[in-house]
Each structure stands twice: as C-alpha cells, then as structure tokens.
Structure 1
Amino acid sequence: MSGKELLYAASTIWVVVAAVLVIFMQAGFAFLEAGLTRMKNVGHIAAKNVLIFAIASLVYYMVGFGMAFGDGGNGIVGGSGFFPAVEDLLAIGKEPFSWFGQIPGAAAYLFEVGFAGVSLAIVWGAMAERTRLWVYFAFGVVFTLIYALVSHWIWSPDGWLFAKGMQDFAGSTVVHYQGALAGLAGAILLGPRIGKRGADGKSNAIPGHNMAFTTLGVLILWFGWFGFNPGSTLGVDFGGVGFFAYVALNTNLAAAAGVLGAVATSWLVIKKPDLSMMLNGAIGALVAITAACAFVAPWAAILIGFVAGVIVVLGVLLVDRAGIDDPIGAIAAHGMAGVWGTLSLGFLTVPSLAEKLATGRGGLFYGGGFGQLGTQALGLAAVGAFTFTASFLVLLLFKVTVGIRAEPEVEEAGLDVSEHGMWGYPEFYIPVPGGYGTERHGHMVAAAPAAPAAVSAAPVAG
C-alpha cells in the first residue's frame, strides 16, 4: 500500500469514527430534552429523536448531500450527486463530490448527515411538549433541504459565502444558528404551553422531571463534540498532521469555561448556581467554539466559551420575558451562542491559522481590520433572513391548513399516550397487579385510562 493510500485509509477511519460520535449526539439530545420536560412527554421526546434522524438520513441521501456538496452547481446550490450511486460513494476526490479529497463519498455522507440530524434535533427543543407528531415528518423533510442549501453557501467551495471568506469551521451558523432559527419560528407560531403564562401574563416555571437525565445528555453531547469539531478536518493531515488534536483542545477549553461563565452569571442574576443554567452554559460554549475551534488561540477559546456561558443565562431569561416558551433553552444555547461564536472570529481569528486553512483573514484584534467581522455579520444576516423566513412560512402554512399544535386535552394528558399509545413511565399511570393501584403519589395519579382511546381521562403529570 502506497503512502497516499495509507493517508486515504487513515483519513477514512478517522472521519467514520467522528461520524459515529456525531450521530451518537442524538442520544445526548434525547436525554437532555427528556430531562428538561415532563414525565408525560418522555416517550414522545425519545421517539422524536429517533424519528428525525431517520428522516434526515433518507432525505439527505436522496437530495440533501448533492444540494450541499455536489459538483457543477452555483453559489446557491450544488448541481450533482443526487441519489448517489455506488461509484459516487466509493470515489475519492472525484466527481460528484470532489471537495472531499481524502475520503470516499460514503464517509463524507455519513459524517455530514450527522450534522443535518443535529440541526434538526435543535429545532424541536424549542417546540417541545405541544407539537403534533406529523409535523416532525413534514417539516423534517423541508428543514433538511433548507439546511443543505445554507451548508452549500458556507462550506462548499462553490458557495457564495465560502467565496467571501466566511469562517464557520464546524457549524455555529450552519448547524446551530439554523436549528435555533427554525425552533424560534415554531415556538412563536405554537405559543406557550398550557400553564406557562398566568392570568397576569407572567411566566410560570414548568420544571423538567429529571436533572440527572439532563446532565447525562450534556455529557454525551460534550463527548460527541470531539467528533463534531475535530472530525470537520475531514482528514488526518488537514491543517497539518495532528491538527485535529488542536481543534479538540480548543473545544474542551471552551466548554469548561462555559460552565464557569454560566455558574457565575446564574449566581449573580438569579442568586443560585442553577444546574440547568450550568448545563446549558456548557452547550452554549460548545456551540460558540464550533465556528472558531480551528481559527483561534487557546486563550481565545476560553474567552469565547466563558462569554457564551454568560450569554446563555441572560438569553434564557430574555426569551422567557419576551413571552416565548422554549422548554429546552435552544434559542439561547444554540441561537444566541451561535451568533456570538460566529462573530467572535471577526475579532479573534489568528492570521496564520486563517492562512493555514485558506479561509478568510485575521481578526480585528490581530490587526486584520473589520473585514472578517463584516463577512461574519453578512453571513449571519443572510442565513437568519432565509432560514427564519422559510421556516416560519412553511410552519405557518401547516398551521392554517392542518394544524401543528396538539389539542388542549391531548397536551394536558401528555403526548406519550395521545401520539404513541404508550407512556415513558407506564408504572405511574397503569394499575398493575401488586403495583400502585389508585393511590396518589406526590402530584401523580397512578390510576389511568385502560386504553389510549380514553386520553381525555389521563392524569396530568408534571
């Protein structure tokens, strides 16, 4: 085996391993979202994460991968690689996916579809506990195509924002900002959950049911991010042999700083080191460093992460005061932190790293002027206008024609039984021999309808 073939083999192994880590992040989202929502919706949340990745996988294979990275396109969309054939998926550095110079198209697809699935997972966090199941199917297809278009703009060498030098190494804008924008559109159209707003218009807390689940979810996501960011080198020698380790270092430093930034801000603002804020601080920092991980010095990664932790705490409170019900904090953690991470490059990009990666220029703090900051802001404005508008209009069409929100009695009973005919915690709801009978335990009633058809009689948990 020649040296070139060894390089291809090593790069392929690395990217497939990274792809598996990214795909495993769906488990992190499942635990994170289940923990921050109520018991009556846990089964629904778990099913959603499996369902959306299945949808994204098929749609991205059929058209999304070609739209994002297919050769022969233009600045807006790729022009080939739809329903890729055997030859397309085995080729290395050749049409229709010549952008992937050291790995076969199959490895590239597996890695990139993981990103599409993550972005789609973010959408539903802001729409949790009140969205009808069919919307996941319909909007999942549409959003996968929206995502593919924007990823072409920024990540494909044919993309118009790529040509302008926009820096977004692993997707603060492409993945996280986009997901948060669509989630924001959905949350606005859905309105708050029943009981979220009191008669006086003030917000009521609806706590999640299991913070241990949430903590496990965040740790899984933190672990998965070592595929997300370092894997975006798409080869073992991109930026120099071992450069992916540098990307991993910056990723970890930022996440750690984000935890501390969120704890400090939570302690100052709400007078308690709130665990949910701490965990979202880690997520927000990981989101922010996703754009910058390959372009900045370690000290800057710490700064980016710490500021992101501050932004997440203040952002969650701001979103709530604006009357938007975001059960997971996705708009702050993925949207606001994504904006900060993208803009931070306009200040903090090391010129030598921009030259090494052949993308954009150095940041303002390194004497690079305002050029890179302007490019970053342009990208955010273009993606924001397109993704939010497209998502809002599609979801609005669904709302006025078929309806996107569960009926009040269904929402109060919980989406587990109404949408799936089962419960995430059946022993709390179904009388069983030697079980709970009809006794009351805390705020939950053990007696429940014998069949899903009797949904209106189901207990309200959480």
Structure 2
Amino acid sequence: MDYGIAIDTVWVLVATALVFFMQAGFAMVETGFTRAKNAGNIIMKNLMDFAVGSVAFWVLGFGIMFGPDLSGYIGKVDFLSLGSFEHLELSIPKEAFLIFQTVFCATAATIVSGAMAERTKFSSYLIYSLVISAVIYPIAGHWIWGGGWLAQLGFHDFAGSTVVHSLGGWAALMGAWIIGPRIGKYTSDGKTRVIKGHSLTLGALGVFILWFGWFGFNPGSTLAGTNTEAISHIFVTTNLSAAAGAIASMILSWSRYKKPDVSMTLNGALAGLVGITAGTDIVSPSGAVMIGIISGIVVVLAIEFIENVLKIDDPVGAISVHGICGAVGTILVGVFATDGGLLYGGGTKLLLVQLIGVGAVALWTNVTAFYLFKAINKTVGLRVNSEEEEEGLDKKEHGTESYADFQPRVVYLNSDQI
C-alpha cells in the first residue's frame, strides 16, 4: 500500500465532508436572515440544490469541467463521468476528486437561493440549480481549474473566490434583479424598508458552520494530506482573513450606524473567508489580514449600494459577500501574492491576469444567468403571486409550517369549575 496516497485520499474525503456541512451553514444563514414563514422553503431549496447539483454534475458537469481541453474553453463531454481522466495526473482516486468537486459545485448553486429568497417558485429554483450545476459553473471552472485559457494565462484562484463564489454571486445578482424586490421592501417614493429576519441566532450559527467548513474548503484544495506545511499555512491565512473581516465590518458598521451591527459583522466574517479563498496558499499571514480588512469594508459598502442605489433586494447579502468580495479577493492576489504580487516586486503582470479572469467569469455568468432567468420567467415563471408571498412560501409551496404555535391556549373556567 502507498501510505502517501492513502493519507491524501482520506484528507480529501474529510475535507469533502467539511465542505458538504457548509450546506447546513448556508441554510441556517438564509433561514435566520429571512422571515419564519419561509423557513421550510429555504431549507428545501438548500437540500435540493445539493441533490440536483450532485446528479447534474456527475452526469454532465464533471466532464465539461475536467475533461480533456478543447481549444481552452470547454472540456470534452463525458456522460456519467466514466472516463479515466488520466490527463489530470491525480494522486488520489478519481472518485475522491469527483466528490470533492461536487460539493464545490453545490456551493456555487446554493449562493443564489439567498439573494432570491422569499419570493421564488420552488420549481423554478430546481431548474436554474440544474443548469448552473451542469453547464454554467463547469464551463467557467474549466477555464481556471480544468486547464483552460485562464489557467494557461497564469490566473490564480486556489480554492474558488471566483470559480465558486463570484460565479454564484453574479448569478444571484441577475436572479434578484430579474425577479424584483419583495413586497414592501421599497416605498412608493423609493425609500428602503428593513425587513428583519426572524432569528439572528440561526444566522450566527450558520456563519460559525461556514467558518468551520472553510477549513475543508481551502486546505482541502491542496488535495494532499501529506503536504502538511501548505495545509498549516492555509489554515492560518483562512482564519486570519475571516477574523479581520469581522473586525473591519464591526468597526465600520459601528461608525456608520452608531451601533455594532450584528448581521453586518457576521457578513464581514464571510466576506473575509470569500476574499482569502483565491490566494490563501500564496499570501502571507499579514497579507491575509489585509485582504480580510478590505473585504470586510467592501461588503458593508456593497450591501448599502446594492440595496439603496441599485434597488436590488438581496435578503442575506449574498451578492456582496460572494460576488463582490470574491472578485475583490481574487484581484488582491495580484497585490499580495508573495511570488509575483505587486507589493513584492512582481510588477503588474499577475494583477492584470487576475483582472482579466475576474472580468471574464463575471461576463460569462451575468450573460448566461440573465438569459436563463429570463427564459424561466417567460415559461414556468420565476415568482410566486402576491397572495402566496404574503402568506409565506412554506404554506403555499409546501403545505406546511416550519414552526409550531407555541402560544398558550386560554381556557375560560366558570365558577363551578374553580
């Protein structure tokens, strides 16, 4: 037995389990930051985008993403992932690599649900989760991780700030824009109303789960449990960026709103995690702190801009956390990379390549997602009707309620019973 291969394989499978658990984190964040009447619908969407995405990625997406390169833009289609994929020169079994990449694909798809929460038809959600998992995500992923044209340029996105997070964020942007805001989000004169989520506790639990899962997301992308030095370094940079992001968002929200805002601080931690994911392997701990600080500041400003200026209703801040901070973090690799970064004497070459990659994935995702959501809207429809939205998607879409009625029953006794 080759013990090195065994260690690498077990490490990748453990990391896979950690990334899979991030589905629970996303579910808790989205549920907590939205209203109780839609909690079951959100849980169902987070469950089914993983289920649908797993099958779609296995049937079609994996081959498109990692099959032999065809002109730099797409991998050779391999239905049911039956090929040997020897060209990848993996040190682990193909099935271990397949399941690891499957949970990454599911992460990209689930980002969209938060931005479109509380007004999207369940059937429509299943359709776009299928298309994102089978086609949109794998093609962009091939450009970067499958040996495509961006990889050939030297684009660096170690664990997916752009491949996973920005792609999911841009798709969320198109979906939230096309579907429109929730009823009551904006007044007739354009002023923004706050629609509070029903449980900051659930939202915070989700963030802690995501932070925990990110220790599989980033270090697991080494695909090598024997590379202890790299794994250890990535653990440190991942954690420092998340911590710095939370601190920066807390300070900025405290300054702007006169109180340290809980939801903004939670999103700041996520922003730091998203931001560091691209360069976690090639930035120093101090560089990770700087990326976290910048991401934590950017997420607050981006949430305000998207909500108040663009008038796009994103209940959980997914567009800002994943789309904007994913792009910012990827670009900052060109600044803070210890080998080739602008601050380390590397000039602008890497920075320009990072800008090209971010722009290309943004363009690809925005265009394809726009037409996808428009097509769904014209056919089966994206949005529930106003009555269903007001009563809640749990009742109308699933015929259930997520929370039992805990209010005490009042029993009136007559004088003979006292």
Calculate the TM-score normalised by the size of structure 2. Answer: 0.95
1:104 to 73, 83, 93: 93
Amino acid across the alignment from 1:418? K
- Summarize the Cα distance change of 1:436–1:291 in structure 2 as closer, same or farther, 3 Å threshold: farther
Alignment partner, residue 149 of structure 1 = 139
2:218 — aligned with what? 229
Aligned to 1:13: 10
Report 1 or 2 for greater relative contact order, CA contacts < 8 Å, sequence distance ≥ 6. Answer: 2
- From the superposition, tell whether residues 97 and 267 of structure 1 become closer, same or farther in structure 2 (CA, over 3 Å): farther
Once residues 364 and 204 of structure 1 are traced to their aligned partners in structure 2, the CA distance between those partners, rounded to angstroms, is 42
SS of residue paired to 1:291: coil
Answer yes or no: is 1:301 the counterpart of 2:291.
no
Aligned counterpart for 1:285 among listed residues 272, 275, 286? 272
What's the % identity of the aligned pairs?
Answer: 44
Residues 176-255 of structure 1 aligned to structure 2 (within 5 Å): 176-237=165-226, 240-255=227-242
Q: Does 1:325 align with 2:303?
A: no
Which residue does 1:69 correspond to in 2?
Answer: 66
Q: Contact conserved, 1:304 with 1:341, CA < 8 A, in 2?
A: yes
The aligned amino acid for 1:210 is S
CA distance in 1, matches of 2:283, 2:108: 24
Q: Deviations over 1:400-422 (max 9, x none)?
A: 22210010000000000101010
Q: Which amino acid aligns with 2:191?
A: K
Per the alignment, residue 26 of structure 2 pairs with 29
* Residue 381 of structure 2, aligned match among 403, 406, 409: 403
Residues 437, 324 of structure 1: CA spacing in aligned structure 2 closer, same or farther, 3 A cutoff? farther
Structure 2 match to 1:140: 129
Partners in 2 of 1:408 and 1:110 — Cα distance? 40
Residue in structure 1 matching 2:301, options 291, 294, 314: 314
1:344 equivalent in alignment to 2:332: yes
- For 1:174, the equivalent position in structure 2 comes to 163
TM-superposed deviation, 1:73: 3.5
Moved more, 193-202 or 410-419: 193-202
Displacement of 1:437: 7.3
C-alpha displacement of 1:72: 5.2
Q: Deviations over 1:330-368 (max 9, x none)?
A: 0111111111100101111111xxxxxxxxxx0111111
- Return closer, same or farther for 1:296/1:72 CA change in 2, 3 Å cut-off: closer
Cα pair distance change 1:324/1:8, threshold 3 Å:
same
SS in 2 for 1:209: coil
Q: Is the 8 A contact 2:150 2:357 kept in 1?
A: yes
User: Who is 1:59 aligned against?
Assistant: 56
Q: How does 1:398-437 map to 2 (within 5 A)?
A: 398-427=376-405, 436=409
- RMSD (Å), alpha carbons: 1.4
Is the 1:147–1:174 Cα contact (8 Å) retained in structure 2? yes
CA distance in 2, matches of 1:271, 1:192: 27
In 2, the alpha carbon distance for the partners of 1:437 and 1:55 equals: 46
Following the alignment from structure 2 to structure 1, what is the Cα–Cα distance between the partners of residues 3 and 30? 41
Q: Is the 8 A contact 2:185 2:192 kept in 1?
A: yes
In 2, distance between residues paired with 1:14 and 1:252?
19
Whether contact under 8 Å (1:182, 1:387) holds in the other structure is: yes
Cα gap change, 1:264 to 1:177, in 2 (>3 Å):
same
The two structures have a TM-score, normalised by structure 1, of 0.86
Stretches of structure 2 lacking an aligned partner (at least 5 in a row)? 412-418
CA deviations over 1:29-78 (Å, ceiling 9, x no partner): 01110000001000111111101000110000001111111235441111
Paired AA for residue 214 in structure 1: G
Runs of 4+ aligned residues of structure 1 deviating over 6 Å after TM superposition are: none
* Helix, strand or coil at the partner of 1:296: coil
Say which is worse superposed, 213-222 or 333-342, in terms of deviation: 333-342
> How many residue pairs were aligned?
409
Q: Report the CA distance between 1:84 and its aligned residue.
A: 2.6
Deviations 1:358-409 (A, max 9, x none): xxxx011111111111101101111111101100111111112221001000
Which of 362, 366, 370 aligns to 1:384? It is 362
